[in-house]
Each structure stands twice: as C-alpha cells, then as structure tokens.
C-alpha cells in the first residue's frame, strides 16, 4: 500500500502537465459519484451474508431474489455506517429520512426497482479536506459533498460470447451482490483536474477504511467512482456539456482517464468543434489509455421514484448521532494535521497518515517513546523498502512497534550504530524477536569506549605506515581508508563519531 501509492501515481505526472498546458484558456469542472460497498456481515435488507467472491448465487434468499411476497427489513448496521461517514464528512444529518424505489428493468435487478434514497438522503452538505501529494504540487483543497445516501447494490451479469448483454450467446445472473448495502457519496463539481479528483477519491477510500465501514477495494468494486467531466472557458460561469466516465479501477486510472477526457474536450473546443461534446457515458479503456463512447444519453431517464412503502422512515436521535460521533477514530485529515504539528514535512505527513495501517504502526512506535523524525525515517525508508520487496503490508510484518522504538532508542543513545541498526532491522522484520536479545546474542553492541577505540586506531596506523605517510603528505582522502579498516577490525561496532574524532586526532597529531 505504502509503496504503491507513490510509484503508480508518479507515472501520470507528465500527462497531467500537458493537459494543463493545452487547456490554458479552459477550465475543467469535475464532480464525482462514489459507491462504497459496506462491509456489514449481512446484506441491507435480508440476512444473507454480504461476502465477496462466493460461488455464484450461493448468498441468496427469497428476499434478495425478489420472490413474490418478500419484504425488505433494514439492517441497522447500514444506518450506523451512513451516520459515521456522514459525520466524518462534516455533513448535516437528516433526523428523519426515508427510502424510495428507483424503478427500471434489468436482469440484475430482481425486484424491478432498487431501494435507494431520493429526495431526503440521510446526510447532506458536507465537505472533505485533502492534501495534494507533493509530487503533484502539494497544497490543501476542500471539496464539498452534496449528499450521502443509503441504497442496495444490484446483482452481476456474466455474459458469454460478448462483453455486453446484447450479442452474447447467453447471459447468467449472479445475485450474490444483489442487496449488498452501498453508500452513494455525491460531490459538488469542485474538482478541476485529474489529480484533484483522484485525491478526493483516495481520501474517501482512506476515510471508509479508517471508519471500518468498507474495505474500499477498487479492484473488487467495493469503491466505484463515476466521474462527470466538463470544460468551460476560464471565468465562464455556465458549465459545459458534461460527460460521464466509468470503468476506472484505480486512482491512477481515474487521474489518467480524467486528464485524457479534459484534453479531448479542450481540443474539441479549440478546434471549434465544441458541439461534438455530447452528454454521454464514456468508458475508460486501460489498453488504449483513452475514453470511448459507451452510450449516448437520450433525454433524462425517468426512474419513477416514490416512497418505499415496505420500510418505515429512518429516524435518528441526536443521542444516537452523538454516541457514534464520540466513537469515531482519528480521521485521516485530523491525523495529517497532528503529524504536521509534530514537525514532520508535508511529504512525510502524507505518506505516514494516508495508510491507516502505517499510521497506526507509526503512532504505536511514538507511543513507546521513539523519536518522531527517526521513527518516520525508519518506516518510510528501510521498512517501506522491505515491504515493497516482500510484497507485504505493514500489518503483516513480525517487527512490533515496541521493538522499533527500542531499536531507535539504542541507536540514539549510541548503544548500536545506525549501520548495525539496519542489519538488526532486517532480521527483526523477517523473524521478529527482541532487539536487545539480538544485539546481545550477536555481540553487536557499539564500542563507545574511547580507550578501546584508541587502541584499535593505534593498531591500524601501525599496520599501515605507508598510507599514514601518504596521508600526512597531503592525501587526506585516505581518512576513509582508515575508518574502513577500523570498522572492519571492530566488525562494524566502533562508534563512528568517536572513531572519526579519535582517528583525526591521531592522523593530524604533530610529529
């Protein structure tokens, strides 16, 4: 997680800049609808397990299959998750909201309608604060949230012989996903670039993970973004024709898709072909790195919304909201601000705070009394490199925060050298165990006794008279050679600061 965040997003930097250069006189307006699949144990309106990856149609019952006579009963965990996210997004919560039916025919929709919330969502008028990564220029942004509402997911269609229903030999319906609870989060059209949009989505992902309401996994479809993009001449008030983009399964794809779409629309405007931008849904094609037309919208779909008569209104009490509010963990933005106050650079803040596992580890290390900057460096340096090469997440390593704190303390007080520290760390990461036991066992305690170091230096100088003469003749670069020799003799345990002081004294001693 830690390394992926950095490496994959870097690659789009070039394209992002190009779009901005081309579009100097134009401005993109981006709004995002995000669907987050909640990680409740059971579905929204029945008691089927809400599990990903089960055998098709194994997590179904008469209710989520839409059999005649079946009725929905709301899973209270869905309301709880919605309230948590609503609070985290600084929304105004509706003490009284209701469910509505959104009606359309499709084989993955067993009842012929989706239970959703139409005119009275559970939460509205919120905002989210994000920090743009330093490699994209950094800076703070606030994006407004229009609404958060609860609804159920549809099933899944599996087509044979074509990737769409029309033209396939046959199509199978898997209803495992039907009735899985979703929160739909609708943003205001506040984003202006691919990176802002991707950062907004990434922040939502962090938020749902921090809150524990969803795993936010884009590949599994637990977090899906539909992005509306339009461009308009700068300083123009009316929005241009908006195009919806779907099918992006990573933040980096989102960023690339949006930037592609912006430059496509800007180019059309610049060529005087602005009227060729039509209201449509376009798909991001990963292979060709472009968006292609999926369907052109002919008029507004009429979903014939009306209040769901099978479910009572959703009534929230202020006490209930307050209790959930009090139970919320520290949220990503709060964490970033706290790290910033501790004196960490924005770069470090973002890396440490943006992965809740990393942040938890980091906080635990600090709690054991470790030096902030050293802890940050170890986590972002050697530990991150280890995670990357082993393809592990920080929650999977054997090193405990306590041991890292001990290691840092031992380096800081000079018991071991930083170099030894690195060696010990590799062992601790792979096998676990105690830092102290390990350095005792291997005799890795740093030699900090000046007398011992002095005698080692004396010995080396005596063994290398030729180099000593050259040094004293002006070839001062040989200092490194002597350091290396002493380190070799001490098996790396000589305190480097002490060593270099004593060595210099000896080398430069008046004859």
Partner 1 sequence: MRAAVPFPRLLILRPVNTPQCRRLHTVKASQTATEPSKLQTNRSACSEILRIRKSLLSRERTAVEVAEEYLTRLQQTEPYVKSFLYVSDKVLADAEEIDRRLRRNEDVGPLVGVPVAVKDNLCTRDMPSTGGSRILEGYRPPFDATAVTKLRQSGALLIGKTNLDEFGMGSTTEGSAFQVTSNPWDSSRVPGGSSGGSSAAVAARQCAVSLGSDTGGSIRQPASFCGVVGMKPTYGRVSRFGLMAYASSLDVIGCLGSSVMDAAILLGAMAGHDKLDATSSKTEVPDYAAKLVPIEALDSKPLKGIKIGVIRETMGDGVDSGVISSIQASALRLEELGAALTEVSLSSFPLGLPAYYVLAPSEASSNLARYDGIRYGSQVPADDLESMYGSSRSNGFGQEVKRRILMGTYALSAGYYDAYYKRAQQVRTLIQRDFSKALDGNDILISPAAPTAAYKIGDKVNDPLSMYAGDIMTVNVNLAGLPALVVPCGFVKVGERDLPVGLQMISAAFEEGRLLQVGHIFQQTLQNLSFEAPLPNK
Which of the listed partners (partner 1, Zn ion, none) does 309 bind, with a CB threshold of 5 to 8 Å by partner kind?
partner 1
Which of the listed partners (partner 1, Zn ion, none) does 275 bind, with a CB threshold of 5 to 8 Å by partner kind?
none
Pick the binder of Zn ion from 64, 87, 383, 408 (CB under 5 A).
64
Using an 8 Å Cβ cutoff, are 114 and 330 in contact? no
Instruction: Please tell me the count of residues contacting Zn ion according to CB under 5 A.
Output: 5
What's the sign of the alpha-carbon dihedral 185, 186, 188, 190?
A: positive
User: Which of residues 304 and 475 has its CB atom nearest to partner 1 in the complex?
Assistant: 304
Q: How near is the Cβ of 179 to partner 1 at its closest, in Å?
A: 13
Which residue bears the tokens 């949230």?
145
Give the CB-side neighbour count of residue 377, counting CA atoms within 13 A: 10
Q: By CB under 5 A, tell whether 380 contacts Zn ion.
A: no
User: Which of residues 105 and 462 has its CB atom nearest to partner 1 in the complex?
Assistant: 105
Alpha-carbon gap, residue 66 to 112, rounded angstroms: 9
Which of the listed partners (Zn ion, partner 1, none) does 239 bind, with a CB threshold of 5 to 8 Å by partner kind?
none
Q: By CB under 5 A, tell whether 48 contacts Zn ion.
A: yes
Q: Who contacts 237 (Cβ-Cβ below 8 Å, separation ≥6)?
A: none
Alpha-carbon gap, residue 138 to 149, rounded angstroms: 31
Alpha-carbon gap, residue 421 to 443, rounded angstroms: 13
Which of the listed partners (Zn ion, partner 1, none) does 401 bind, with a CB threshold of 5 to 8 Å by partner kind?
none
Q: Who contacts 205 (Cβ-Cβ below 8 Å, separation ≥6)?
A: 216, 218, 223, 251
Residues of this chain that bind partner 1 (CB under 8 A)? 62, 65-74, 101, 103, 105, 107, 110-113, 165-166, 173, 300, 302, 304-306, 309-312
Binding mask 5-44 for Zn ion (x = CB under 5 A): ----------------------------------------
Which of the listed partners (Zn ion, partner 1, none) does 456 bind, with a CB threshold of 5 to 8 Å by partner kind?
none
Alpha-carbon gap, residue 205 to 225, rounded angstroms: 11
Q: How near is the Cβ of 59 to Zn ion at its closest, in Å?
A: 7
Alpha-carbon gap, residue 94 to 83, rounded angstroms: 10
Which of the listed partners (partner 1, Zn ion, none) does 48 bind, with a CB threshold of 5 to 8 Å by partner kind?
Zn ion
The C-alpha torsion from 66 through 164 and 258 to 139, rounded to 10°, is 40
Alpha-carbon gap, residue 139 to 350, rounded angstroms: 11
Nearest in space to 140 (alpha carbons), one of 131, 128, 127: 131
Q: How near is the Cβ of 110 to Zn ion at its closest, in Å?
A: 10
Q: Who contacts 215 (Cβ-Cβ below 8 Å, separation ≥6)?
A: 39, 209, 222
Which of the listed partners (partner 1, Zn ion, none) does 72 bind, with a CB threshold of 5 to 8 Å by partner kind?
partner 1
User: Which of residues 155 and 332 has its CB atom nearest to partner 1 in the complex?
Assistant: 155
Q: How near is the Cβ of 375 to partner 1 at its closest, in Å?
A: 51
User: Which of residues 45 and 143 has its CB atom nearest to Zn ion in the complex?
Assistant: 45
User: Which of residues 103 and 241 has its CB atom nearest to partner 1 in the complex?
Assistant: 103
Q: By CB under 5 A, tell whether 70 contacts Zn ion.
A: no
Using an 8 Å Cβ cutoff, are 113 and 178 in contact? no
Q: How near is the Cβ of 77 to partner 1 at its closest, in Å?
A: 15
Compute and round to an integer the Cα radius of gyration of the chain: 30
Using an 8 Å Cβ cutoff, are 444 and 419 in contact? no
Q: How near is the Cβ of 63 to Zn ion at its closest, in Å?
A: 5
Q: How near is the Cβ of 310 to partner 1 at its closest, in Å?
A: 5
Q: How near is the Cβ of 65 to partner 1 at its closest, in Å?
A: 6
Alpha-carbon gap, residue 259 to 243, rounded angstroms: 13
Residues near Zn ion, by CB under 5 A: 46, 48, 61, 63-64
């Amino acid at each position: 997680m830690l390394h992926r965040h950095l490496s994959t997003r870097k690659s789009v930097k070039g394209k992002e800049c190009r779009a901005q250069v081309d579009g100097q006189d134009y401005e993109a307006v981006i709004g995002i609808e995000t669907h987050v699949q909640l990680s409740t144990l059971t579905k929204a309106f029945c008691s089927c397990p809400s599990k990903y990856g089960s055998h098709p149609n194994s997590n179904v019952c008469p209710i989520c299959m839409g059999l005649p006579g079946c009725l929905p009963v709301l899973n209270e965990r869905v309301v709880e998750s919605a309230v948590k996210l609503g609070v985290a997004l600084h929304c105004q919560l509706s003490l009284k909201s209701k469910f509505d039916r959104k009606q359309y025919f499709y084989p993955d929709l067993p009842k012929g309608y989706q239970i959703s919330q139409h005119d009275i969502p559970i939460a509205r008028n919120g905002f989210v604060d994000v920090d743009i990564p330093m490699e994209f220029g950094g800076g703070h942004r606030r994006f407004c949230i229009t609404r958060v509402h609860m609804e159920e997911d549809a099933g899944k269609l599996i087509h044979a012989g074509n990737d769409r229903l029309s033209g396939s030999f046959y199509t199978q319906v898997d209803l495992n996903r039907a009735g899985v609870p979703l929160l739909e989060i609708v943003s205001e059209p506040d984003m202006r670039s691919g990176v802002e949009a991707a950062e907004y989505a990434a922040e939502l992902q962090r938020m749902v993970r921090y809150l524990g309401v969803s795993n936010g996994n884009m590949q599994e479809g637990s977090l899906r973004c539909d992005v509306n993009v339009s461009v308009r001449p700068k300083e123009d008030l009316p929005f241009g024709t908006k195009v919806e983009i779907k099918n992006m399964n990573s933040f980096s794809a989102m960023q690339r898709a949006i930037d592609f779409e912006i430059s496509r629309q800007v180019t059309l405007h610049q060529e005087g072909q602005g009227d060729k931008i039509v209201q449509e849904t376009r798909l991001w094609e990963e292979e060709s790195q472009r968006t292609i037309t999926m369907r052109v919208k002919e008029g507004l779909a009429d979903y014939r919304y009306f209040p769901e008569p099978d479910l009572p209104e959703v009534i929230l009490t202020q006490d209930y909201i307050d209790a959930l509010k009090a139970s919320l963990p520290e949220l990503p933005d709060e964490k970033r601000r706290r790290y910033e106050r501790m004196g960490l650079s924005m770069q470090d803040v973002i890396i440490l705070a943006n992965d809740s596992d990393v942040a938890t580890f980091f906080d635990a290390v600090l709690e054991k009394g470790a030096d902030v900057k050293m802890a940050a460096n170890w986590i972002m340096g050697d530990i991150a490199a280890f995670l990357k090469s082993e393809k592990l997440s920080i929650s999977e390593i054997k090193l405990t925060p306590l041991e890292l704190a001990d290691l840092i303390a031992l380096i800081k007080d000079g018991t071991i050298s930083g170099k030894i520290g690195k060696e010990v760390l590799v062992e601790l990461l792979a096998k676990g165990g105690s830092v102290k036991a390990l350095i005792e066992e291997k005799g890795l305690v740093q030699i900090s006794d000046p007398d011992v170091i002095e005698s080692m230096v004396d010995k080396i100088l005596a063994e290398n008279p030729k180099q000593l003469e050259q040094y004293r003749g002006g070839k001062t670069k040989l200092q490194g050679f002597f350091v290396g020799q002493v380190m070799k003799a001490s098996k790396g345990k000589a305190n480097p600061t002490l060593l270099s002081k004593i060595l210099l004294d000896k080398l430069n001693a008046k004859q």
